[in-house]
Amino acid sequence: MMVEVLYLLIFAGVLFFTGVTLFGVLLSIGLSFLFVLAFGMFAMFIKMLPWLLLIMLGVWLWKKLT
């Protein structure tokens, strides 16, 4: 829910500063897309962090014991 609100705020903010033109709308869509992409990747990293730490621990133990 919060990501959608931030998406709309970024979209409206960029439109406010660039004006409602074709360039402004395309720039707003592009920046909003990059925002959602970046925070989506960050959320996926946080979601997978326990598994990544477990894999790192397994590799460390494997190297230490062999």
pLDDT at residue 1 in the model: 65
Domain ranges, ordered by start, for the chain: 1-65
Q: What digits encode the pLDDT tens for the residues 55-65?
A: 999 999 999 99
Q: What digits encode the pLDDT tens for the residues 1-56?
A: 677 888 888 888 888 888 888 988 898 889 888 988 998 899 899 999 999 999 99
Tokens 């621990």, residue located = 57
The pTM score is: 0.65
